[in-house]
């Protein structure tokens, strides 16, 4: 999608250059790239606007605008709407180093989410519903642009550009790879510059995975939790449960049904789904930033402490990272404890605290061991680290061989070859040679 967007931007740039050199495009008779029918579903557009409580953005009524305000004192799961407003002191740079501390990213944050006619991508995918949300003194304002007919896309894009012109930051959930590239393609398709091109962008999906994904460092699931979809995160973190929500896979079919029948009732649930996505996005971001600011003692789950430890380590706060990993290891979550200990061991090793790192690796092996066979990739990583430590640092060759032998028969073919080389080297080092040297000297 990025390649297509870049190509279309080049086309737009050449077209704008010709326009600047020779006058307006209309005066020069530039042929448009697209054709949109003026009378698409024209008979039902007025009734659709009335049914959805919308106002028309264009004379034909093809693009509708729906405004909704969530009051600041309204509860949203564990939080109130007003408490989710971005704070200037929030350490967003820990999650995204490109957003420098001290910048005014918080001045006017726009939360952004779209619903499309399909997931195939390309020029044929239409964003028929675009939702934007931002905080005001009254609460959380949501503005939705709905295409009652495809011919309303051009006025929708113009209005959306005005929203982004005033923004200091756009926030999405997986928008870096889907929402924003798709919309930039639509702007380029209509020969207009994308207002998001130079706008700072914060994608909340990677921080959510870092803080709440129940997977270890190898990608293996720690439990049967349902993943990091926004709906799953809001249930687990915010304790907010949607009632009668429209499933995402059903949304394109509902839109096509609306285009065929003019039945606005099938769209009401889609509008509500989009609004909840925006509010949940703002609340999840607020929770993540609050945890990063308050530290590991404020966490409710050990997995959050592991995530914070990784953030602090990346930012160079080694003391904060160590405390987060220690608290996570002591939290009593048997699934998270090995992961926390492994992170702690790696952190200690980077600080040349090798004896403490070895103790942490040993604790990884001691957690939940059922037999001499090392089952998990994390256990194998711990045994390998201990074999290296005892061979090269502690000079305990017997212990090094014991850990290396526990790895025999585990891992990939390449790993097995490395284990074989290590065992052969250890056997050579342990071979008794003192008597032979003595006999040679006496002879």
Quick count: other Cβ atoms within 10 Å of Cβ 428?
9
- How far apart are the C-alpha atoms of 125 and 115, rounded to whole Å? 10
Residue 261: CB atoms within 10 A of its CB come to 12
Q: What is the pLDDT of residue 5?
A: 60
Starting at the edge strand found earlier in the chain, the sheet holding 201-203 runs: 55-56, 63-71, 139-147, 127-135, 109-116, 169-172, 201-203
What are the helix and strand counts (H, E) for the chain? 17, 9
Q: What's the confidence (pLDDT) of residue 374?
A: 58
- 131-141, pLDDT tens digit by residue? 999 999 999 99
pTM of the predicted structure, to 2 decimals: 0.85
3-state secondary structure string across 21-47: HHCCHHHHCCCCCCCCCCCCCHHHHHH
Distance, in Å, from the CA atom of 404 to the CA atom of 361, rounded to the nearest integer, reads: 14
Backbone φ, ψ for residue 104 (5° rounding): -95, 45
pLDDT of residue 435: 45
Helix (H) or strand (E) holding 79: strand 79-80
Q: For the chain, which domains are there?
A: 2-24+40-290 (3.30.420.10), 304-434 (1.25.40.10)
| Residue with the two structure tokens 């914060």 | 202
Residue 431's pLDDT is 85
The partner residues of 378 in beta bridges, in order of sequence, read: none
Long-range contacts of 49-53 (CB under 8 A, 24+ apart): 49/148, 51/264, 51/265, 51/268, 52/146, 52/264, 52/267, 52/268, 52/271
Token pair of 308 as six digits: 């914070």
Asked if 143 contacts 131 with a C-beta cutoff of 8 angstroms, the reply is: yes
How far apart are alpha carbons 176 and 288 in whole angstroms? 18
Q: What is the 3-state secondary structure (H, E, C) of 157-226?
A: HHHHHHHHHCCCEEEECCCCCCHHHHHHHHHHHCCCCCCCCCCCEEECHHHHHHHHCCECCCCCECCCCC
Given a cut of 70, the residues of the chain with pLDDT beneath it are 1-44, 101-102, 119-123, 215-226, 368-375, 433-443
CA pair distance 165, 180, nearest whole angstrom = 15
Q: What is the share, in percent, of the chain residues with pLDDT greater than 70?
A: 81
Alpha helices (H) in 228-264, listed in sequence order? 230-233, 251-261
Supply the pLDDT for residue 441.
Answer: 40
Segment 149-194, tens digit of pLDDT:
998 999 999 999 999 999 999 999 999 999 999 999 999 999 999 9
Residue 121 is predicted with a pLDDT of 56
Please state the φ and ψ torsions of residue 323, each to the nearest 5 degrees.
Answer: -65, -40
What's the Cα-to-Cα distance from 369 to each of 140, 199, 255, 375, rounded to whole Å?
Answer: 50, 50, 53, 9
Given this model, what pLDDT does residue 412 score? 80
């Amino acid at each position: 999608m990025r390649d297509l967007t870049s190509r279309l931007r080049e086309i737009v740039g050449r077209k704008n250059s010709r326009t600047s050199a020779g006058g307006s495009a209309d005066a020069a008779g530039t042929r448009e790239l697209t054709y949109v029918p003026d009378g698409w579903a024209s008979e039902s557009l007025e009734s659709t606007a009335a049914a959805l409580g919308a106002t028309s953005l264009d004379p034909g009524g093809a693009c509708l605008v729906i405004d909704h305000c969530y009051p600041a004192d309204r509860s949203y799961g564990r939080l109130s709407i007003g408490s989710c407003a971005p704070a200037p002191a929030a350490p967003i740079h820990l999650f995204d180093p490109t957003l420098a501390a001290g910048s005014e990213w918080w001045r006017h944050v726009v939360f952004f989410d779209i619903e499309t006619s399909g997931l195939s991508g390309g020029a044929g995918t239409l964003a028929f519903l675009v939702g934007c949300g931002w905080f005001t003194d009254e609460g959380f304002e949501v503005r939705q642009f709905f295409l009652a007919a495809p011919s309303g896309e051009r006025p929708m894009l113009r209005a959306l550009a005005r929203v982004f012109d005033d923004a200091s930051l756009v926030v999405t959930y997986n928008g870096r790879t889907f929402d924003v590239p798709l919309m930039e393609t639509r702007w380029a398709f209509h020969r207009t510059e994308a207002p998001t091109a130079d706008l700072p962008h914060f994608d909340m999906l990677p921080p959510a995975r870092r803080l709440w994904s129940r997977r270890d460092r190898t990608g293996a699931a720690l439990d049967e939790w349902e993943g990091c979809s926004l709906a799953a995160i809001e249930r687990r973190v915010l304790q907010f449960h949607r009632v009668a929500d429209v499933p995402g896979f059903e949304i394109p079919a509902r839109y096509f049904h609306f285009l065929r029948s003019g039945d606005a009732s099938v769209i009401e649930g889609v509008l509500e789904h989009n609004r909840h996505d925006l509010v949940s996005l703002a609340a999840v971001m607020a929770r993540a930033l609050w945890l990063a600011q308050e530290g590991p003692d404020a966490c409710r789950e050990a997995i959050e402490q592991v995530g914070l430890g990784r953030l602090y380590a990346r930012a160079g706060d080694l003391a904060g990272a160590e405390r987060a990993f220690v608290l996570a290891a002591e939290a009593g979550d048997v699934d998270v404890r090995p992961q926390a200990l492994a992170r702690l061991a790696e952190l200690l090793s980077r600080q040349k605290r090798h004896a403490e790192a070895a103790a942490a690796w040993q604790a990884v092996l001691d957690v939940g061991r059922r037999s001499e066979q090392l089952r998990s990739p994390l256990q194998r990583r711990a045994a390998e680290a201990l074999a290296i430590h005892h061979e090269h640092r502690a000079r305990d060759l017997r212990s090094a061989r014991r850990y290396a032998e526990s790895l025999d028969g585990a891992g990939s073919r390449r790993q097995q070859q490395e284990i074989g080389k290590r065992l052969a080297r250890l056997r050579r080092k342990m071979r008794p040679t003192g008597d032979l040297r003595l006999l040679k000297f006496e002879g």
